[in-house]
Amino acid sequence: MFQSIQGLAPITNPLNSVLIEKELVNIDQKFDQLVSLAEGLPRTEVIENGKNYWRGICRSLIFRFPDDLEILKLERRSLVNRSKGIIQIRSAARLGQSDLGVNLRRVEYLFNQLENL
């Protein structure tokens, strides 16, 4: 997947993909927690695991359709709060014009689980 200095690649089809970003405190810890949650998703294969970037492929239960899942930590450290930053999560179907909301639910699930930790 494409990753620019500004962040993850933009969404080209909002019917089968989603990109959500959140500003968080304790950015390093939150990134590690999100990666752990993503790696725990069923039928997920880790493709890349770096200091600020994680990428995996999530497959559907029945037909094993592949969806790309990416997590990017953008450090926006200020002099006031050095632990604050932005995390982007992008989830996109490789096939089809619509995913019936699967990718949005996946990203919302990850952020919701993060809040419960």
- pLDDT at position 3: 53
Rounded Cα gap, residues 24 and 101, in angstroms: 25
CB within 8 Å of 74: residues ≥ 6 apart? 7, 21, 52, 85, 86, 87, 88
**Per-residue pLDDT at 5:** 54
Residue 7 lies inside a defined structural domain of this protein: no
- CATH classification at residue 33: 3.30.310.220
Please report the pLDDT score of residue 6 as a whole number: 76
Domain total of the chain? 1
Residue 11: inside a domain, yes or no?
no
Q: Which residues of the chain have pLDDT under 50?
A: none
Q: Is residue 6 part of a domain?
A: no
pTM for this predicted structure: 0.91
How far apart CA 75 and CA 60 sit, in angstroms, is 32
pLDDT at 16: 97
Please give the residue range of the domain that contains residue 106.
17-115
Residue 101 resides in a domain? yes
